[in-house]
């Protein structure tokens, strides 16, 4: 039992460090935050921090992966059944789940979208893979209602919608100038227009 208990302790400590890291890097840039300050805030030695993460960059990349995983896991709500028409309430349920995630994890969401180590390709790829995963979810769901998943226009419209959703929700999270319900209804209206154009394309 001892190895299992030890492994659990290691996993718990690692998760604690990641949660702290998201908070710290959510308020300071990569260059502003030193490994010494991270260790100090965590209440551990720098050596122990390096035991879990071999470098500051490795710690940062692990944080980006954690933020991406949180987003995908906590917003993947699917209560929409196959039918003849897209259910507006199904759209509302998923957008609400997304906004509640943003509200609950403002720091990690902002960190995921705005964080970065210059032009670090690995970080950029994690963020892009996250966007593509969300995009694939939307394409899959809309294809149940007749959307053509292979049509370039489908993907482009959804990519544009996703870009707007990211930007608007980040601004909303930082400014808090609209109530969640008000912002939700605005997004539902806009999503309905985008999805309608996908399901009823006018192009040949």
Percentage of the chain modeled with pLDDT above 70: 87
Written as one string, the DSSP assignment of 116-163 is --TT-HHHHHHHHHHHHHHHHHHHHHHHTTT--TT-HHHHHHHHHHHH
Average pLDDT over residues 175-183: 90
Tell me the C-alpha distance between 115 and 11, whole Å: 25
Residue 10 has pLDDT above 90, yes or no: no
**What confidence tier does 78 reach under pLDDT thresholds 50, 70, 90?**
low
pTM over 0.75: yes
Q: What is the mean pLDDT of residues 83-104?
A: 80
Provide φ and ψ at 153, rounded to 5°.
-65, -35
Flag whether pLDDT at 81 surpasses 60.
no
Tokens of 81: 């059944």
pLDDT level of residue 126 (50, 70, 90 thresholds)? very high
Q: Which domains, and CATH codes, for the chain? A: 2-60 (1.10.10.60), 63-199 (1.10.357.10)
The string of pLDDT tens digits covering residues 130-173 is 999 999 988 988 888 888 989 999 999 999 999 999 999 999 98
Angle between helices 152-175 and 180-199 (to 10 degrees): 170
Return all residues near 30 (Cβ < 8 A) that are at least 6 apart: 56, 60, 115, 116, 117
pLDDT value at 85 more than 60: no
Gap between the Cα atoms of 26 and 71, Å rounded:
15
* Mean per-residue pLDDT over the chain, rounded: 85
């Amino acid at each position: 039992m001892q190895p299992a208990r030890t492994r659990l302790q290691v996993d718990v400590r690692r998760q604690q460090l990641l949660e702290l890291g998201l908070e710290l890097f959510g308020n300071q840039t990569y260059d502003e935050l030193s490994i010494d300050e991270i260790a100090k805030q965590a209440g551990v030695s720098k050596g122990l921090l390096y035991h879990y993460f071999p470098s500051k960059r490795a710690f940062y990349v692990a944080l980006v992966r954690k933020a991406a995983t949180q987003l995908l896991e906590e917003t993947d709500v699917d209560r929409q059944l196959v039918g003849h028409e897209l259910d507006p309430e199904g759209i509302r349920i998923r957008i609400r789940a997304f906004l509640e995630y943003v509200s609950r994890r403002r720091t990690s969401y902002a960190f995921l979208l705005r964080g970065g180590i210059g032009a670090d390709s690995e970080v950029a790829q994690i963020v892009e893979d996250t966007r593509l995963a969300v995009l694939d979810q939307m394409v899959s769901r809309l294809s149940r209602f007749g959307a053509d998943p292979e049509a370039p226009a489908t993907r482009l419209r959804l990519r544009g919608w996703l870009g707007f959703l990211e930007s608007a929700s980040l601004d909303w999270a930082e400014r808090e100038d609209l109530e969640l319900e008000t912002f939700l209804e605005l997004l539902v209206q806009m999503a309905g227009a985008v999805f309608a154009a996908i399901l009823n394309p006018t192009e040949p």
